[in-house]
Amino acid sequence: MNMIVLEQTLNGIQFGLMLFLLAAGLTLVFGIMDLVNLSHGSLYMIGAYLIATLAQALDSFWLGMLLGIGLTACVGVLLEMTILRQLYKRDHLSQVLGTFAIILIANESVRILWGPQPITFNPPASLAGPVELFPGFEYPAYRLAIMAVGAVVAAALYVLIAKTRIGMKVRAGAADREMAVAMGAKVSWMFSGLFACGAALCALAGGMLGPLLAVQVGMGESILILAFVVVVIGGIGSVRGAFVGSLLVGMIDTLGRAIIPSLFSGFGPEVASSVAPALAAILIYLLMAAILFWKPKGLFPVGA
């Protein structure tokens, strides 16, 4: 039982770090641009498809990852410059409807280009096997690589936002967008740059999770809901809050799905397998409700 808990704890950290890649871009876009971007999950889906296709065509996981991330960043910038700029000054309802339309367009476009069937691709051969972390406990090398990539990106984002001039402008925009504009910040360039960064992070998450999950149409919607939960828990516009919130949500979701079935095993396997995912999801929203009751602006609100 202890080994199972340890394994699922590592799985929760791995999932949380990948969730952070989506939530970081989402919270910055929401915090600085005041844009409710439901199409963020579509970039995750598009990135996963591009990386899977390029990795198979080039017979190189890492080259496919690099090219797929770059192409997805270009898609994000194109989307921001052509459509989303028209929504900045609209109310949130218009933004929700507009970006929801983008989800439908993206799903149908992917279905036309790649077909309705899920596609799969393999991780690098060097990371295909398990690693013995200590005697009697092995863990997949690829999942460890995912954790390492997530941790490195999180550290890089921290340095970029907390220690650089660009990060200072981003933080200023998140805290007081109007004042940042009045002080001469080039908002249009900042917005495009944030979208490129957010799209690249979405693609990275999609590409890293692709070998573990099925790359399929609509895969961005379910994870987008969790990303929004993370943003609310951490505080809108806060990358630090997105990091902490992602780890909390990842751990609760993974451990809940692993441990809750054993609590209902006496009622039969069918009941346990059907109840566990529902209760795990409920725990995430209970966590969000409790945190908002305690801290209505999230754990690390910008400007607090």
Tens of pLDDT along 32-71?
Answer: 777 888 888 899 999 999 999 999 998 889 999 999 999 9
Pick the range with the lowest mean pLDDT from 47-51, 100-104, 219-223, 269-273: 269-273
Please tell me the predicted confidence (pLDDT) of residue 172: 67
Q: What are the residues facing 139 on neighbouring strands? A: 131
DSSP state of 70: H
DSSP state of 298: -
Indicate the domain borders of the chain.
11-122+152-294
Please tell me the CATH code under which domain 11-122+152-294 is placed: 1.10.3470
Cβ-contact 253, 284 below 8 angstroms: yes
**pTM listed for this prediction:** 0.87
Pick the range with the lowest mean pLDDT from 145-159, 231-245, 262-276: 262-276
DSSP alpha helix (H) spans, the chain: 2-33, 40-58, 61-82, 92-114, 141-163, 165-175, 177-182, 187-209, 219-234, 239-263, 269-294
Q: What is the largest CA-CA distance in the chain?
A: 65
pLDDT of residue 237 exceeding 80: no
Q: Which two tokens mark 301? A: 């609100």
Q: Percentage of the chain surpassing pLDDT 90?
A: 27
**148-179 tens-digit pLDDT:** 998 999 888 888 877 877 777 766 666 666 66
Q: Number of C-alpha atoms within 13 angstroms, CB side, residue 167?
A: 11
**94-144 tens-digit pLDDT:** 889 999 999 999 999 999 999 888 888 888 888 888 887 777 788 888 999
